[in-house]
Structures are given as structure tokens and as C-alpha cells.
Amino acid sequence: MNTPSTGSHPRDTRPPLTHPIRPTHPLAVTRVADHQWHALEDDEVVGRAHAAHRPDGRLFVSVDAWHDTAFAALAETLLADLPGPLHTVVDETDTELAAQWRAFGFVPGRGEWEYEVPTDPAVTGLGAARPPAGITVVPAGAADEARLRALHPTIRAEVEAAVGWRTMPAEVRPLPPGVTVVDPTTYTVAEAPDGAYLGLLRLATATRRPRVGLLAVRTDARRRGIARALLADVLNGLHRSGVRTASAEVDEDNAAAAALFDGIGARRVNRALELVR
């Protein structure tokens, strides 16, 4: 099973457009850094745009604009300066923002559920969850880095062959070629008796609430309860430290992942749309 989660997306978080009117002063777009642009009106910033490659190579863009004209100017600049295809993520309820992107040729690519995940074992039912016989859960920070780095490409290749790595939310940050593990201390892993790593869970903590960034098990080790055991170790640990909820993001077409989170009492709180041009 592969259970995507997390990732932090460059979602557009703009102030309400209470007066989305055309500006009275000339508007100019300036590149202020690599893959960053500002829209200036009378020497004041009225919008910002950003672009970033995800580890799988997809290029994601976002625009924060104070009014429609600034949004249009920034979007036109992105389309002119960047190679396609381009991706962006919007909240399903933000129909206005989705319409703005659609006007520039973006169409729906995929949907993603955001979950609020309880940590209390009395709610999740994971208090008594144990790994299969012979399998050991290695806590975060204790995994062997070499074996972890060897497991990650295997997991990725299996996901790519099944549902496609594009369905896996990931931190939006550029990585050097060949680098797949940024911080080994964020991974909890499942270890076989021979020392091989069979599955992993990455937990991001530098967010508003802890976020399950990736939960995946090797194809030859699935349907044995390893994913539940990894979740139990991480969520029970968060509960003991006083954290009441975590978050996770699951591709809406990943029925197995959704069933896992639905089955532990996680609540769907939002749906995000990925648009592509």
C-alpha cells in the first residue's frame, strides 16, 4: 500500500478581493529572484508569483494578487517565462481562483483529500496494533541511512508502476539529481528479520500540525498490517507527547489509502484540485 500525504503545496492564499477593480496606476511585473516575480503598481507590491520544481520534476506555480489585473499580469508572465507543463493547486471551494487559472488554459488534473488525523488510540483503534511477526518498527531518528536511501527508490519505482508518483503529494522544494531523502531523521521504518527495510513513514513536524508526508510499503510486503503498524507507532507517539491531531493528504483515486485513514477515524476536512496547463 502506498499512502500519500502530505506534502506542502504552493496553494494560493490571497486576501479577499473586496474591490477587484482595474488599477488606476500603470502596473509592471518584475522578476525579483529565480522563479519569483512581483507585480508593482505605483512602486507598491500588489501581487507575487512563485514557481518551484517538485522532486518528480513537475513545475508548480502560485500567484498571490491583490486584484484581478495583477493576477492576470503575473499569470501571463509565468506562461511566457516558464516551460510547460505547469501545475497549480487550489482549494475546491475557491471557485474564483480556479476560474482565473482556467482562463489561462489550466484544466483539472487530479483531486486530493486533506485529512485531520486523530492521535488518540481510543479513537484510532491503533493502541493494540502490532507489526507482523518478525517485523520490527524502527522509530524516527534510528533508521540506518544507507538502507533507508536504498528503500526509497524501490518504493518510488513501485508507486510509479502502479498509480504513478505524480499522485504522491511531496514537499515543493528542488532537490539535487538522485537525492530522494532530505532528512533521514523524519522517517519511521519497518524492518524485516534479515535487516531489509520493507516500509516507511515520513512525518513532517515543521508545519502547523504534524503531517504524514509519505506512508508506503514495498509491494511484496503489503496486506500484512505493516502500514497500520507504522501509523500506530507514529500516532501513538504523538499522542503521548500531547499532540491531538495530525494531517495527511491522499489522492482521491487511491482507494486503499483512503480506506486506511477512514478506518482510523480520520476526517476529510478539505479537497484540493491540481490544475495543469
Question: Residue-wise over 142-151: b if at least 16 C-beta within 10 A, else e?
Answer: ebeeeebbeb
**How many alpha carbons lie under 13 Å from residue 205 in its C-beta half-sphere?**
12
Which architecture does CATH list for 113-272?
A: 3-Layer(aba) Sandwich (3.40)
Instruction: Name the 3-class secondary structure at 203.
Output: strand
**Other Cβ atoms closer than 10 A to 82:** 14
Domains of the chain by residue range: 27-112, 113-272
Distance of CA 237 to the CA centre of its chain: 22
pTM: predicted TM-score of the whole model, two decimal places: 0.74
Tens digit of each residue's pLDDT, the chain (277 residues): 444 433 334 444 444 444 444 445 688 999 989 899 999 998 899 999 999 987 667 899 999 999 999 999 999 999 999 998 999 999 989 999 999 999 999 999 889 899 999 999 999 999 988 898 999 999 998 999 889 888 888 887 887 776 666 666 544 444 555 555 567 888 999 999 999 999 999 998 877 889 998 898 999 998 899 999 999 999 999 999 999 999 998 888 888 889 999 999 999 999 999 999 9
Integer Cα distance of 91 and 94 in angstroms: 5
Q: What's the Cα-to-Cα distance from 4 to each of 36, 158, 166, 214, 261, rounded to whole Å?
A: 28, 13, 10, 5, 11
Instruction: Indicate if 113-272 has the same CATH topology as 27-112.
Output: yes
Q: Is the peptide bond before 85 cis (omega within 30 degrees of 0)?
A: yes
Residue with cell 494578487: 65
**Other Cβ atoms closer than 10 A to 56:** 13
State the cell numbers at 105.
488554459
Integer Cα distance of 22 and 272 in angstroms: 29
pLDDT of residue 115: 95
* Angle subtended by helix axes 68-81 and 95-102, to nearest 10: 40
CATH topology of domain 27-112: Aminopeptidase (3.40.630)
Contact of 95 with 78, CB cutoff 8 Å? no
